[in-house]
């Protein structure tokens, strides 16, 4: 796993975090809280893809909720209407979402900055209309109901704990694969593209291929998240895959920081828990809870603006700054101690004995 600066950490730390996440359902008995943490895992899966797309490659997407919707409807349609096994629908969701990412990437290769953002925004809005109008496939505004829970080899993931383990297992595999991508040549190519296309081309990076790969991988992970979402909730509605959801996903990547996987994962946990804060804290005053729900998208937007102005590298940059300050403080203290030790070890010059005089 990567730390806030994107550098490898000790293997035992990764195993410790994985073990802690896996043991949560054994410690927590509140079914609602486990379900909320399951939603954290679903959003983490999307955030990993956006970390590669935005945090490493520097490509902005404001339509990622559309890929989640594509995955959700694909898995639901195949398992309910066609009768395919869930694992087939799950895999197909990732493949079709990846195909959607490829279709979006090809015409958007020449776009940069806010032009790219507008193109992805338009894609998301088009898909929102399709989710509503294609009633024979999506169920229209009434949604897609009676979706069975995930099942693999005859085992159904019905209980909140088993759904939690399934979602976080997929998120863990995705995080491991993304970590391996960032450690080696593909990740270095993405980072060079984030720094600037001219420098990337000068370094021999395939700019077009790197952009396409980032879009396809990011869309595929979002589609897999949507497939899991349909099985966890059992119902899919077009109202879920709207602009506000895309803004939330983008906020997770921006606030998490560039060049890191741990930062977006941490930001995802914070934002997802914020969405259910009024339920997690029953003593919260009703006006505060109501305003949090009413202005949630505004909170995401304000958070993005503040991070861009005051902490351009997000949580990653703040963590690096803290570590640098601690290292500098520790280095200064060590130098002072070394200086004191050197002075103590130096014998005092006898009085009256000038430099160069003998005894």
Tell me the percentage of the chain whose pLDDT exceeds 90. 48
Distances in whole angstroms, Cα of residue 216 to Cα of each of 26, 101, 152, 191, 207: 36, 5, 26, 17, 14
Share of the chain above pLDDT 70, in %: 85
Q: What is the mean pLDDT of residues 221-227?
A: 97
More confident residue, 193 or 8: 193
Domain extents in the chain: 11-337
Residue 40: pLDDT band (50, 70, 90) is very high
Q: What is the mean pLDDT of residues 84-96?
A: 96
Which pLDDT band holds residue 121 (cuts at 50, 70, 90)?
A: very high
pLDDT band with cut points at 50, 70 and 90 for residue 236: very high
Distance CA 50, CA 56 (A): 9
Per-residue pLDDT tens digits for 274-290: 888 877 777 778 788 77
pLDDT band at 229 (very low <50, low <70, confident <90, very high): very high
Say whether domain 11-337 belongs to CATH 1.10.3470: yes
Range scoring the smallest mean pLDDT among 57-66, 121-130, 212-221, 258-267: 258-267
10 pLDDT above the threshold of 90: no
């Amino acid at each position: 796993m990567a730390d806030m600066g994107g550098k490898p950490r000790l293997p035992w730390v990764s195993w410790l975090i994985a073990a802690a996440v896996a043991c949560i359902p054994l410690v927590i008995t509140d079914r609602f809280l486990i379900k909320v943490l399951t939603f954290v895992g679903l959003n983490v899966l999307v955030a990993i893809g956006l970390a590669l797309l935005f945090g490493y490659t520097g490509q902005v997407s404001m339509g990622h909720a559309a890929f989640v919707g594509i995955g959700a409807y694909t898995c639901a349609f195949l398992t309910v209407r066609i009768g395919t096994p869930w694992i087939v629908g799950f895999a197909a969701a990732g493949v079709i979402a990846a195909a959607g990412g490829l279709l979006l990437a090809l015409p958007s290769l020449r776009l940069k900055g806010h032009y790219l953002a507008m193109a992805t925004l338009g894609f998301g809005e088009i898909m929102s209309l399709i989710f509503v109008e294609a009633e024979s496939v999506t169920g229209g505004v009434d949604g897609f109901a009676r979706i069975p829970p995930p099942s693999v080899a005859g085992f159904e993931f019905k209980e909140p704990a088993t759904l939690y383990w399934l979602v976080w297992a997929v998120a863990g595999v995705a995080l491991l694969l993304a970590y391996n991508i960032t450690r080696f040549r593909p990740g270095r190519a993405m980072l060079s593209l984030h720094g600037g296309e001219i420098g990337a081309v000068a370094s021999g990076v395939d700019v077009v291929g790197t952009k396409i790969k980032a879009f396809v991988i990011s869309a595929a992970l979002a589609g897999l998240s949507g497939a899991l979402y349909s099985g966890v909730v059992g119902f899919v509605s077009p109202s879920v895959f709207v602009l506000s959801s895309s803004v939330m996903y983008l906020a997770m990547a921006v606030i998490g920081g560039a060049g890191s996987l741990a930062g977006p994962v941490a930001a995802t946990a914070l934002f997802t828990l914020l969405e259910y804060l009024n339920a997690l804290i029953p003593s919260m005053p009703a006006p505060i809870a109501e305003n949090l729900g009413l202005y949630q998208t505004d909170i995401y937007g304000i958070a993005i603006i503040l991070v861009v102005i005051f902490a351009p590298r997000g949580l990653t940059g703040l963590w690096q700054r803290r570590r640098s300050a601690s290292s500098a403080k520790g280095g200064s203290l060590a130098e002072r101690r070394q200086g004191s030790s050197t002075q103590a070890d130096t014998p005092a010059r006898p009085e009256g004995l000038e430099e160069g005089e003998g005894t």
